[in-house]
Amino acid sequence: MSRSAHPAGPRHADVLPEGHYSAPPTDLNALDAKVWSRTATRTPEGVLSMGGIEVTRLAEEFGTPAYFVDEADFRARCRAWRDAFGTDADVFYAGKAFLSRAVVRWLHEEGLNLDVCSGGELATALGAGMPAERIAFHGNNKSEEEIERAVAAGVGRIVLDSFQEIVRVSHIAERLGRRQPVQIRVTVGVEAHTHEFIATAHEDQKFGIALAGGQAAEAVRRALKLDGIELIGIHSHIGSQIFDMAGFEVSARRVVQLLAEVRDEHGVELPEIDLGGGLGIAYTSDDDPREPHEIAKALNEIVTRECAAANLRTPRISVEPGRAIVGPTAFTLYEVGTIKPLEGLRTYVSVDGGMSDNIRTALYDAEYTVTLVSRRSDAEPMLVRVVGKHCESGDIVVRDAFLPADLAPGDLIAVPATGAYCRSMASNYNHALRPPVVAVDDGAARVIVRRETEEDLLRLDVG
């Protein structure tokens, strides 16, 4: 990401401090389509509207802070992924990014499958009517009880993550009189980061079974001997917020290599490979994500080529995008509270939420943008740090951004691209009440996850 420490253009202070900011935008009222959902637009008065509803109305009806999700955009992204991969592949939405019963229904209706990684996510999926055979169950430490529930429900696949789990799942399935389809998750020796991949230190992590040292081959050997499980494929997930397809290429190549070894040793051609999720999205204008059809084309080509070279039938491919589907579909709406200009530094703008509704900035140094959305302003840009209301100085929502200098308490500001890993990682720190998720579509808005209340908090505190 190219960042300028000394941006040109209008300035709030004479000397700008060190920071992660680009030059101030020429038009603070512009909406960059890359980071906003499809139906987001501004009215002539400068008010943001999504799904045909203005945010001033949304704030009045649902309060702030709140997440607003663009249902049409969510569905369109599901379709784009499904169409890109076609009928010879499967798209599993990674529920950890954000899951609710409405989301499960949208996925079901749009023909996507679902990856869950806990009993809670499984219950949500099944409760909202996702057919069990379209669910994949993940996790490095699934409990016996979770495995039992997944097997009994008839989930389409359990992704095995350790030698112990191979045996554990087989025993449970046998006890339940089932033969459970499974994949083995391998670590392929690629560690993918935001803009790069590094082929080091990959075995030193809690997920999967290493290809290196023949461990994955040994896992396959053991799995093929057990009666309670049916090994249907190999799974690899290389990381998150990845833009560079090179990491996927190495991953696919190594997984196919394992399939060839399995064929040579056991005479079995495993029918499926799953290349995981991790495709990056635009959080700021500097990010350039790939479209689903480009990703599908690249992955299909790699797998087909590698399989032809190894004289293998091309397996059925699956992928597990979470962020790339839900991330860009939502924004968080906040009301501006205290504004504190620090002369020569920057202006701190406090909002009515913070690290309890978006921990990603504090946890990963994630970058976001922010825009005034309740009115138009032609005031000059001022350098701001948007912070929350929590008792912690690391409670930062947007580290460095420009907002108009006439910003005032009561204004509404919005942070786009907060659909993934914001509500799902939200907390009650300082007894904050987790914000609602409101789906907006075609002039109608409805709560899909309601705002927490103090009663909700107190109900858990049994005194």
Q: Which residues are the active-site residues?
A: 391
Q: Minimum distance between the CB of residue 188 and ligand LLP, rounded to whole angstroms?
A: 13
Q: Between 51 and 321, name the residue whose CB sits nearer to ligand LLP.
A: 321
Exposure string of 371-386, with b = 16+ CB inside 10 Å and e = fewer, is bbbbbebeeebbbbbb
Quote the tokens at residue 365: 């140094």
C-beta closer to ligand LLP: residue 94 or 226: 94
- At CA 261, angle to CA 255 and CA 267, rounded to 5? 120
For 36, the token pair is 């906003």
Nearer of residues 70 and 367 to ligand LLP, judged by Cβ: 367
What's the min distance (Å) between Cβ of 274 and ligand LLP? Answer: 8
Residues in touch with ligand LLP (CB under 6 A): 94, 96-97, 115, 138, 237, 240-241, 276-279, 320-324, 360, 364, 420-421
Distances (CA, A) of 369 to 20, 31, 284, 331: 11, 11, 6, 11
Residue 115 tokens, joined = 């990856």
Identity of the residue, 115 or 272, whose beta carbon is nearer to ligand LLP in the bound complex: 115
C-alpha dist (Å) from residue 173 to 102, 159, 167, 170: 31, 14, 10, 5
Specify the DSSP element, H or E, that contains 330: strand 330-342
Q: Is 89 or 312 the residue whose CB approaches ligand LLP more closely?
A: 89
Collapse the DSSP code of 424 into the 3-class scheme (helix H, G, I; strand E, B; otherwise coil) and give the result: helix
Q: How far is the CB of 242 from ligand LLP (least distance, A)?
A: 8
State the minimum distance, in angstroms, from the CB of residue 423 to ligand LLP.
11
Give the tokens for residue 43.
């009215």
For residue 199, count CB atoms less than 10 angstroms from its CB and return exposed for 0-12, middle for 13-18, buried for 19 or more.
exposed
Q: Decide whether 237 or 385 has the Cβ nearer to ligand LLP.
A: 237
Beta carbons within 8 Å of 259's beta carbon, 6+ residues apart = 234, 269, 270, 273, 307, 310, 312, 315
Give the containing element (helix H, strand E) for 172. Answer: helix 163-175
Shortest Cβ distance from residue 455 to ligand LLP (Å)? 29
Q: Tell me the DSSP string of 263-316.
A: HHHHS----EEE----B---SSTT--PPPHHHHHHHHHHHHHHHHHHTT-PPPE
Q: Taking a C-beta distance cutoff of 8 angstroms, is the pair 238, 188 a contact? A: yes
In the complex, least distance from residue 326 CB atom to ligand LLP, rounded to whole angstroms: 8
Nearer to ligand LLP, 24 or 156 (CB): 156
CA–CA dist 72, 442 (Å, integer): 8
Report the nearest approach of ligand LLP to the CB of residue 207 (Å): 7
Per the structure block, which two tokens stand in for 421?
A: 């890993």
